[in-house]
C-alpha cells in the first residue's frame, strides 16, 4: 500500500528516479511551445507541439536524447520543479510540490495510463506539428486549455 501513495509520504527530493518519473501523467503539455508576456510574466500555451512529441501517446519519441536534440527542452528534476512556473496547474510535479492531491484521472490514482486522455486533460488530438507553423506565427496558435 505504501508503494501506491509514495507521493503523499515523500517530498520530490526523497523520491527515487522511478517514482519521480511516474508522476508524469502523460498530458504532453510540457512539449508545447509557450509564449511569455515580458511585462507580466504570464505564460501562454500554444497548440504547437515539439517535433518529437507523439501526438497519439503524448510522449516524447526521443525522451533519453531530448535535451541534446532540443536545446530549450526543460528536463524536470526535484530541484527545478519549484522554478518551473510554466507547468500546467494539473501537473503532478507541481501539485506534489505544493501539497495538493492528485486528480482522480491521474494514472497513479486511476491505475490506467489512458485516464489522462479519457478525461480530456492531454493534448491528444489537439495539437499541430511545429514544422507546420512559422515561429513568427506562434501567437496565432495560443490556446487556453479548459482542463
Domain that holds residue 18: 2-143
Q: Give 130-142 pLDDT, tens digit per residue.
A: 999 999 999 999 9
CA distance 133 to 127: 11
Give the pTM.
0.89
Residue with cell 530541484: 79
Radius of gyration from C-alpha coordinates of the chain = 15
Sign of the torsion angle spanned by Cα atoms 100, 66, 61, 133: positive
Q: How many domains does the chain have?
A: 1
Q: Give 22-75 pLDDT, tens digit per residue.
A: 999 999 999 999 999 999 999 999 999 999 999 999 999 999 999 899 988 988
Amino acid at each position: 500500500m505504501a508503494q501506491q501513495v509514495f507521493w503523499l509520504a515523500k517530498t520530490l527530493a526523497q523520491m527515487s528516479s522511478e517514482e519521480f518519473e511516474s508522476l508524469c501523467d502523460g498530458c504532453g503539455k510540457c512539449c508545447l511551445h509557450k509564449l511569455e508576456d515580458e511585462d507580466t510574466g504570464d505564460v501562454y500555451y500554444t497548440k504547437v507541439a515539439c517535433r518529437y512529441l507523439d501526438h497519439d501517446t503524448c510522449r516524447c519519441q526521443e525522451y533519453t536524447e531530448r535535451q541534446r536534440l532540443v536545446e530549450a527542452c526543460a528536463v524536470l528534476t526535484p530541484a527545478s520543479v519549484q522554478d518551473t512556473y510554466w507547468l500546467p496547474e494539473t501537473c503532478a510535479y507541481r501539485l506534489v510540490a505544493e501539497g495538493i492531491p492528485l486528480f482522480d484521472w491521474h494514472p497513479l490514482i486511476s491505475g490506467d495510463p489512458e485516464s489522462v486522455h479519457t478525461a480530456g486533460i492531454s493534448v491528444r488530438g489537439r495539437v499541430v506539428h511545429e514544422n507546420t507553423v512559422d515561429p513568427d506565427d506562434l501567437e496565432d496558435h495560443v490556446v487556453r486549455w479548459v482542463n
